[in-house]
Structure 1
Amino acid sequence: MKITVAIPIYNAERHLNVTLDSLINQTMDSSEFEVICVNDVSTDNSAAVVESYMKNHNNIKLINRTENSGGPMLPRNDAINAAKGEYILFLDNDDFIGEETLERFYKNAVENNSDVIFGKYVGVNGRKVPRSMFKFGNLPKAEIVEHNLVFSLAPHKMFNVDFIRKYGIQFNEKAVVGEDQLFVMQCYINAKVITVLTDYEYYYVVKRGHENLSFKYFPAENFYYSFNNIMTTIKESDLSPLYKTELSAAFLKRFYETSKLRRYLLTNKLTAEQKKDWLNETKKFIDNHVNDELINLLPSLFHYFVLIAQENDLQKLLMVHKQMDKVSPNQVTRVENGWIYANFKYSRKYLAYDSEYPVNHLNTSDVFVDDIVLDNTHFEISGQFYQSLLINMNVKNELILVHRSSGIEKRFKNNLLNKSGQFSFKVDYRDFVVDEKSVGPWDVFIEGIIDGYTKRRRLGQARNNDLKIKQHEEIHEAKGFIDKITHSNKEKEAGPKKEIIIDPVRSFGKKYTVRAYFTKDHDNLSFDVKMTK
């Protein structure tokens, strides 16, 4: 048996047929996979729906639990224990898979000796699904951190059965929140090979009405059970020390971004007493698992939250959170080692503090291009680069050309304007047109730099209404130019257009053309380099 498909079922009568239909229509022969449906004491006709399919499909099986487990954890474990396949795929009872999913999964899993394999998700009815791990194309051997796998911790994947049995990995019945994350992270950490496929729409995740059920309270200790275990699993694993740190930071970033924690503590969902309970458990979690090194690897958005949670001061947390929305440049005290620090003050009878916290996430920027001028040997770009929190700081601006295919960067630091927020650069084409490796598009950026803090913006989209691309008049008759600028009134009225070709540019004995243009999709400035004979 190649694959076991495990489906935990609870009151799924209305949509279970869609799930099962996607399985009976698989391109893989039905003799090569089994479907184990685990009925968690449904109160509707879910079991009858499965039984109706069993009459015509002998690879579909039904396990009826005698006691409701309260979640999908134990039904999935039942399927693991009963599985006869080499691999097990977990499928929710209201989702479905593409017709070629099992065949493609198995083929790639065998070829790559995969312990874990999953493919591109598709959201149905407005369901949001993770995407960042699929932007890299097919990954026969994916990396957890490098390929953003921590943002795909749902169990909608296929696992090698011998692998999960060898490591004794099962769904933890004590985990009322994040039980799937705990299971998948344990698999990620122990897996020799994780395969990610993007060449087909493999798994369809369906949004149902029950996802909008009202808020249900449970103690913070229960909430943290899975996440404490995940951090402990990372800490006690055989991973290298540096990778443990990187993985811990990546998971914490996901945890603070996507979990309900901040919504519970920073909104009115909980009472004051409940918030105290949650903040107390949060302090324990941070004290046990989050050191200064990890805090510095988190985005600044979470720094104040973590630091004040360590103090276990609910009122200060709520007040600083409120003040965050109103941070001004006048509050910025320093920029150091890549962090913008702002001062937060408050003084009342029962709450007073004077603290600094990073506010990088609040620093917005605008870039505006005043002029773009080209001649036979140089181009000139001038404009303004404004950063909302750094108007009182001495920010150094650099022009950066990035070769689109190789990622090679050429930096120009000779800003002709010393005023903070303004820039003017004059660049010789031969500074980036060097050899055959220079051929292809170069995209143009401006980057502001101050004590390790950098903010980069693409150039071209925001510019003077009349600005396109200009040429110096002294080269208006040069061979190979389009958009020739003459002294005729007619052509002056027409104005500059969206591209200009400079021909030739001589570098190390070879000839090149340089085309300055605005990109079609985003209207940003680029230079396209081509060799000429």
Structure 2
Amino acid sequence: MKISIVVPVFNSEGLISDCLESLVNQTMPKEDYEIICVDDKSTDSSLDILNQYKKKYENVVVIERTVNSGGPGAPRNDGIKIAKGEYILFVDSDDYLGEEALLRWYSFSKENQSDITLGKLKGINGRGVPKSMFKETNPDVDLVDSKIVFTLGPQKLFKASLLKENQITFPTHIKAAEDQVFTMNAYLKAKKISVSADYDYYYLVKRDGEHMSVAYVPPENFYGAMEDIISAIKASDLEEARKIKLMAVFLNRHFDFSRTRNVTLKIKKEKERAEWFHYLSSFIDSVPLEADQFVLPHIKLRLMFIRNKDLKGLSQYEREEKNIKKYTEIQNGELIACFPSLKTYHIHKDLINVTYKNKLDHFIKNIEINDSVLSIEGTIKHKLLDDETNKNQSLTGVFVHRDTKAEKYYSPSLFENSTFKFECMFDNIASAEEDLGVWDFFIESSIDRYKHRVRIGNKRDPNKYPLNAMYLGDNDLYVYSAKPYFTMKYDNLSVNIKKHAYTKAVLSYEEESKDLSFIFSNKLIYLPSGSKVVVSNGYSEMSVPIKDIVEEANGTKITINMENLIAQFFNYNKKKQLIEFAINTSNNQIIPKENNQVLVLEKKCVEQKFLFFFEKMVEVQYKLLTSKSKFYFQY
């Protein structure tokens, strides 16, 4: 048996079927995994649903607990005890897996001999999920130096021997944070931890109603679990210096992503706030003072108040930090938060340097290809600065070449009250041979001596251009295509510059108007104003103004008028002659997409001589035809 999936179930009748469907329909063969469902004395029809799946699928196991445990820890422990798999995966009854999750998870773990493998998480219905540790796949991550401490949920693939040989189970005396204690214990005992970030393995679903993560938990219970984690780190085999750093990483996570985040603001009643602060202080007392030097500055300030038993100061500081714009000013090119709550403490200026917390909040209202210009419009503000200070910012648009790191700068054509518009000439982006490649767009904002640069694009109104949209230009060195697009990983704006030699087209002709159309399927083409189609027969050349450019559902139609062209280019001494079409320059050719396409351009009666000088009027058809990626005139 390769994998045992453990699913704790309590009153999940409306959700459990979706979960189980994702489990029984995995691409891994059913004989290679088992699904252990542990019913925690449900009072709805959950158990009936589980038994239906048990009858239908041989790899479904159902355990019925006789007493409700009050939390998922005990049911998970029941599953661990009977698990037959080489690996154990914990799945909550309201979540589900990607179809290939088990096969990918197991193969990756076996290949890398992993004790624990973190598979990429995906939130559903607005559910937030940890992301920082899934930026790239890594078969061997470091517990202290990586971001994996920021995900302490049990939705991971654990080697069964790791859990059973080290007697790692979920603590059952608490109803929240038991998964954090469990996962940290497993992290500390694991010899190799891996991250697979190339597939959405586990889908966490946000549901209506109460969830354990937001349910009330007594402070002594919650902070008791936190002390258990600190005790586990202290008792681990890590070197002492790494223990201290790991505690600091855990504190960073704890104060920014747990119930302790802005705890004095959440609790309105003074007595209850004092109770929570008492147990929080007890927890922090268990953390060696040496860890404080490695935490983030805003957390170090919190620890200062807590270690000094200063609940009043912590409460005031958290109120001030919530309104940080009111207290932040620019000093010597850095952002300094002058919090009144800190006046009684002698602190280093580095602790109130909040430059690292600042972000440029931006939104893209419109991206447009207009003539030979890429127009980018939106709004931008510094998150930590008030509106009055933001009025003083100056902007620069920056295109950065992804490979060479060369930069090209643009001033906004419009900037007022945080609203900007950049108009970037495509020929300026593509002006030399080394400009070929991908250019990533940034905005740099400056106020006084403070500068901040940010990638933009992922916050925007819907983009009106599909992936096949491209501008065709000529910089006098080469013909190029410029494709604006949004990056796969971070969804930010980039432009891809490539040399362009030809575009395949299907022909269409209106005999009455003598309009010839080139239909470029699956390509949305934009051209500079005044563009022409260049027509050549090898002896002479003629530029024909483009009559119309129409965006169609499946591509672009460019139309020219053939009337003068027919008169000039038909050579009556040649029954068939090669004709080349191009856009603006002969280096940007149009070639046929279909072979043997024939268009009748015109019918005429002409006098032809036969034997014995006999003359006869005959009807001649002037045709445009295609053959092996070439165009021909023929009569």
* Aligned twin of 1:182: 181
* Of 237, 262, 272, the match for 1:274: 272
Q: Measure how far apart 1:68 and its partner are.
A: 1.2
Contact persistence 1:28–1:103 (CA under 8 A): yes
State the secondary structure of the residue aligned to 1:70.
coil
Aligned amino acid, residue 193 of structure 1: K
Offset at 1:70? Answer: 0.8
Match of 2:340 in 1: 344
Aligned to 1:139: 138
Structure 1 residue matching 2:286: 3-state secondary structure: helix
For 1:358, the aligned partner's letter is I
Q: Measured at CA, do residues 104 and 217 of structure 1 come closer, stay the same or move farther in structure 2, by a change above 3 Å?
A: closer
Q: Find the partner of 2:296 among 295, 298, 310.
A: 298
Would the aligned equivalents of 1:518 and 1:524 in 2 still touch at CA under 8 Å?
no
Q: CA shift at 1:282, angstroms?
A: 1.6
Matches within 5 A, 1:216-235: 217-235=216-234
Shift of 1:291: 2.7
1:20 Cα deviation (Å)?
A: 1.9
Residue 321 (structure 1) aligns with: 318
1:370 maps to what in 2? none
More divergent stretch after superposition (166-175 vs 314-323): 314-323
Task: Tell me, yes or no, if the aligned pair for 1:342 and 1:359 is still in contact at 8 Å.
Answer: no
The residue number in structure 2 matching 1:161 is 160
Partner SS for 1:289: coil
Match of 1:252 in 2: 251
Corresponding position of 1:20: 20
User: Contact 2:320–2:339 at 8 Å: present in 1 too?
Assistant: no
CA distance in 1, matches of 2:360, 2:103: 49
Structure 1 residue 526, shift from structure 2 partner? 9.8
Question: What SS does the corresponding residue of 1:321 show, helix, strand or coil?
Answer: helix
> How far apart in 1 are the matches of 2:253 and 2:133?
13
Quick one: which amino acid aligns to residue 264 of structure 2? L
Contact kept, 8 Å, 1:39 with 1:63, in 2: the verdict is: yes
Q: Distance in 2 between matches of 1:236 and 1:256?
A: 23
The reply to whether residue 312 of structure 1 matches residue 309 of structure 2 is yes
Inter-CA distance 98–448: structure 2 relative to 1 (3 Å threshold): same
- Cα distance in 1 for partners of 2:115, 2:226 equals 23
Name the residue aligned to 1:207. 206
Shift of 1:166: 1.9
> Structure 1: which amino acid aligns with 2:229?
I
**For 1:264-314, what per-residue CA distance to the aligned partner results, in whole angstroms no more than 9, with x for missing partners?**
4223x35211111111222222232153653553143x3432222222222
Cα distance in 2 between the residues matched to 1:458 and 1:17: 42
Determine the structure 2 residue equivalent to 1:374. none
* Structure 2 residue identity aligned to 1:257: D
Per-residue deviation at 1:7? 1.0
For residues 239 and 71 of structure 1, do their structure 2 counterparts lie closer, same or farther at Cα, with a shift above 3 Å needed? same
Query: How far apart in 2 are the matches of 1:208 and 1:342?
Result: 41
Distance in 1, matches of 2:153 and 2:358, equals 33
Q: For residues 518 and 290 of structure 1, what CA distance do their matches in structure 2 show?
A: 55
Q: Deviations over 1:380-407 (max 9, x none)?
A: xxxxx99959x9xxxxxxx99977348x
Q: Which TM-score applies when normalising by structure 2?
A: 0.57
Distance 1:296 1:149, change over 3 A: closer
Given that 2:13 and 2:49 are in contact with CA atoms closer than 8 Å, whether structure 1 keeps it comes out as: yes
Decide whether the 8 Å contact of 1:333 with 1:343 is kept in 2: no
Checking the alignment, whether the CA contact within 8 Å between 2:4 and 2:89 is kept in structure 1 is: yes
Give how far 1:74 is off.
0.9
Deviations 1:120-164 (A, max 9, x none): 22322332222222221x322233455421222211111110111
**Structure 1 SS opposite 2:338:** strand
Contact 1:27/1:103 (CA < 8 Å) preserved in 2? yes
Aligned to 1:90: 90
Cα distance change of structure 1 residues 215 and 122 upon mapping to structure 2, 3 Å threshold: closer
Q: How many residues align?
A: 446
**1:231-275 residue CA offsets vs partner (Å, 9 max, x unmatched):** 2222332234454344333222221111112344223x3521111
Residue aligning to 2:58: 58
Q: Following the alignment from structure 1 to structure 2, what is the Cα–Cα distance between the partners of residues 120 and 215?
A: 23
Checking the alignment, whether the CA contact within 8 Å between 1:141 and 1:195 is kept in structure 2 is yes
Q: How is 1:81-480 mapped onto 2 (pairs within 5 angstroms)?
A: 81-136=81-136, 138-211=137-210, 217-267=216-266, 269-289=267-287, 291=289, 293-300=291-298, 302-325=299-322, 340=336, 342=338, 344=340, 353=344, 358-360=352-354, 388=385, 404-405=402-403, 456=453
* DSSP-derived class of the 1:280 partner: helix
Separation in 1, partners of 2:181, 2:473: 56
Tell me the alpha carbon deviations over residues 434-457 of structure 1, each in whole angstroms, 9 at most, x when there is no partner. xx9x99758778698999x98555
Give the aligned residue type for 1:360.
V
For residues 63 and 293 of structure 1, do their structure 2 counterparts lie closer, same or farther at Cα, with a shift above 3 Å needed?
A: closer
Distance in 1 (CA, whole Å) between partners of 2:439 and 2:354 is 31
Describe the SS at the equivalent of 2:37.
strand
- What code does the residue aligned with 2:270 have? A
Q: In 2, distance between residues paired with 1:309 and 1:53?
A: 52
SS, match of residue 153 in structure 1: coil
The one-letter code matched in structure 2 to 1:305 is: R
d(CA) in 2 for partners of 1:23, 1:328? 48
Closer/same/farther in 2, CA of residues 50 and 199 from structure 1, 3 Å limit: same
The 1:289–1:523 alpha-carbon spacing in structure 2 relative to 1, beyond 3 Å, is closer
The AA in structure 1 aligned to 2:29 is D
Distance in 1 (CA, whole Å) between partners of 2:330 and 2:17 is 61
Q: What per-residue deviation string (whole Å, max 9, x for no partner) do you get for residues 26-70 of structure 1?
A: 222222221211111111222222222222222211211121111
- Distance verdict in 2 for CA 1:214–1:303, change over 3 Å: closer
Structure with greater strand share of residues = 2
Identity, % of aligned positions: 34
Query: How far apart are the structure 1 equivalents of 2:448 and 2:169?
Result: 49
Aligned to 2:10: 10
The separation in 2 between residues aligned to 1:150 and 1:447, in whole angstroms, is 33
- Summarize deviations over 1:160-213 as a string: whole Å, max 9, x none: 101111222111112332111111122222222222223333222222212369
Taking the aligned partners of 2:494 and 2:57, their CA distance within structure 1 comes to 60
Unaligned runs of 5+ in 1: 347-351, 368-384, 392-398, 411-435, 461-497, 505-512
Larger radius of gyration: 2
Q: 1:257 aligns to what SS in structure 2?
A: helix
- Displacement of 1:73 in angstroms is 0.5
Shift of 1:89: 1.0
Deviation at 1:218, TM superposition (A): 3.5
Do the aligned partners of residues 449 and 502 (structure 1) sit closer, same or farther apart at CA in structure 2, a change above 3 Å counting? farther
SS in 2 for 1:262: coil
Alignment CA distance shift 1:252-1:528 (3 Å): farther
Q: Secondary structure at the match of 1:209?
A: coil
Residue equivalent to 1:44: 44
Partner residue, 1:70:
70
Structure 2 Cα separation of the partners of residues 94 and 47 of structure 1: 15
Cα distance, 1:86 vs structure 2? 0.8
Taking the aligned partners of 2:472 and 2:493, their CA distance within structure 1 comes to: 12
Q: Residues 181, 325 of structure 1: CA spacing in aligned structure 2 closer, same or farther, 3 A cutoff?
A: closer
Q: Could you state the TM-score of these two structures normalised by the residue count of structure 1?
A: 0.67
Distance 2:492 2:214 in 1: 45
RMSD: 4.9
Asked whether the equivalents of residues 335 and 341 of structure 1 are also in contact (C-alpha less than 8 Å), the reply is no
1:71 positional shift: 0.4
